[in-house]
Structure 1
């Protein structure tokens, strides 16, 4: 079996690659990337291409049985401009199974796959545990307090390796055609829970200072964040949907083992915060 992973160098795509190797070391993997020199595990074939440019994809799809798709293009999560063309190429190449990692919204790719004969499963992970690296690592390393709004926020946040594990199992075995799988961690985690776990992992107390929404907006803007992203974060953090703070049980149901906890993630990544 040959599987193509798009977004293979991203936080989820990399985990899809690693979990596929762990589940079936004999599986043939091909990674779609815009960078020929991408750092990927030994034995993974690299195909240079871009989902936003269908004319670059014909070779990447050749001989592929299954595809892990992302539904966006580039680092700014822009919608795919020619999703129908992408799916047509995959269908013509004989692709028979797909998983789709959604971005902020359902896009044209999902709609095109629903109309195709490709067996497709839609993956909807909630907040990534790894967001703590992006938001907090440098501040914590410098010994400064974390300053954020919405200190009472709850999240059923998920370990990226568990997203990869669910995708890998579905790509290899199928069985979830047309289903939307909400992927969460094993528990609902509060902001204090996160800092307790990180403090224990790094061996020192991490201070948290709650900001007002207005203070947060000023802080984000001063750090170069655009208005659209500020609005998105305000909604996502301040009005987390019920789905984002409800444990789904998908990881255990699909993989047969419990989802990883935030405490586990914190221990694994403690060096990034020291």
Structure 2
């Protein structure tokens, strides 16, 4: 079985690739710039730019399964090439945002929903992994935490159930290697709902230094994010922050059902990444 991994520079993909190799699978790591990839021995690097359909056919040749990053721009062309290549199964890294109210007008949810719908229309067996917020999103606070000991946020009381990226990779490993798990959708979360203030407190404990949260206006936060994300994505996040203010996020046991172990805590992620938040 040959598995094509798209988005191979991402944290989930870089964790998934060696896991698949350890299970004896042939892995093909795909990227728009494969020369920049660092991969385990025996992993082939190939060009596959999801914004460039001309790269699809060669990347998919001989592939049995695909771990797919959600990019709706040329999804129909990608799926046509996948069917022509004889791909049997696609695991999509989707998002729990598709489950939220107003998903059709939310930029993040709309992107993932468009890819899910295209996969539903295809003749390929598909599995949707729908994680919530990644624990690694907290790295966006690292520079401020290191330099000022503070984190700016527009809604410090907003809650999420951050999931460790390794748990997502291990869930992907399960559905890619166990045919009985193929098909359907899986809502993946961490083991607890935490506010931004609580997450920062966990980081403070892990780093052994005081960290505080500054409440800032939505506009100020959006302006600070301008160089990192499109305005529509920032607006979608602001809507999420507001709608989850003071309300516990959904927590599932899906990680344990797929992997056989409980989801890793945010505290464990914080300990692993504590140096990023220290001066």
Please report the TM-score for the alignment, with normalisation by the length of structure 2. 0.86
| 1:1-274 alignment runs, 5 A limit | 1-22=1-22, 24=23, 26-37=24-35, 38-72=37-71, 79-80=72-73, 82-102=74-94, 104=108, 105=110, 106-133=112-139, 135-217=140-222, 219-220=224-225, 227-240=231-244, 245-274=249-278
Stretches of structure 1 lacking an aligned partner (at least 5 in a row): 73-78
Other structure's SS at 1:3 match:
strand
Return the offset for 1:250. 0.8
How far apart, CA to CA, are the structure 1 residues paired with 2:163 and 2:40? 23
Other structure's SS at 2:171 match:
helix
How far apart, CA to CA, are the structure 2 residues paired with 1:3 and 1:182? 23
Return the offset for 1:227. 3.4
Q: Is the contact made by 1:162 and 1:260 (CA closer than 8 Å) also made in structure 2? A: yes
Stretches of structure 2 lacking an aligned partner (at least 5 in a row): 96-107
Q: Is the contact made by 1:87 and 1:109 (CA closer than 8 Å) also made in structure 2? A: no
Other structure's SS at 1:260 match:
coil
**Residue 188 and residue 18 in structure 1: after superposition, are their counterparts in 2 closer, same or farther (change >3 A)?**
farther
**Normalized per residue, which structure has more helix?**
2
Other structure's SS at 2:135 match:
coil
How far apart, CA to CA, are the structure 2 residues paired with 1:153 and 1:243? 7
Number of aligned residues: 263
How far apart, CA to CA, are the structure 1 residues paired with 2:81 and 2:275? 43
